[in-house]
Every structure is written in structure tokens, then in C-alpha cells.
Amino acid sequence: MKSLIIIIVAILVLGFPVSYYLSSEDIEITVTKTERINQGEDSKYLVYTENETFENTDSWLYLKFDSSDLYGQMKADQTYKVKVAGWRWKFFSSYRNIVVLEE
């Protein structure tokens, strides 16, 4: 019984990062607006497009630590090639994360 619990916990702990990494997709977006949202002491950047809203946050899994720099580079009415990861869960206000940005 103890080993079953360990296996279940291991699947949950390792399964999420693996599925997050495998969820990545290369797409093209045209930015309509960007916004910084404060959440207590933390903040995140939202990137609005015609079809979907994305977040731009640092990601240990993708070794992305330059979300502030990317946010400063994004301009409205510009088209970018991006790699996004994650899922859009409206109930949790969760957005796909932009992990790579190319002009």
C-alpha cells in the first residue's frame, strides 16, 4: 500500500511537468494589447490577441527568466512567432505561457 501511494505521488509530481512540456506549440500571434497584473507582491504579464489571451511568466522548465524583457519588446499590432506551453483553464484564470518569442 505504501509503495502504491509513492507511485501515485511520483506520477502526479513528475506527470505535470512532463505534460506541461509536451503541451508546447509553435504559433503565430498578433498582439492587440499587453498588460501587467499585480497579485500581491507578485505580478504577471498578460498578452492579448484576437483569438486568445496568453501570460508571459518565467518558467523553470523552459529555463525562461526574461519575461520582463519580452514584455518590453512586445508591441501592439505586431505579429510574432511564439512557442506557448500549458493550457487555458478559464475556471482557474489560467493561460498558456509564452516561453519563446521571435519577431
Residues 56-65 have a mean pLDDT of 90
pLDDT in tens, 16-39: 666 666 778 999 999 999 999 888
Task: Supply the CATH number for residue 77's domain.
Answer: 2.40.50
> Alpha helices of 1-103 — where are they, by DSSP H?
2-22, 67-73
The pLDDT value given to residue 15 = 60
> Cα–Cα distance between 16 and 31 in angstroms, integer?
29
In a domain, 16, yes or no: no
pLDDT of residue 5 exceeding 70: yes
Number of domains in the chain: 1
| Assigned domain for 56 exists | yes
Give the structural domain span for 68. Answer: 24-102
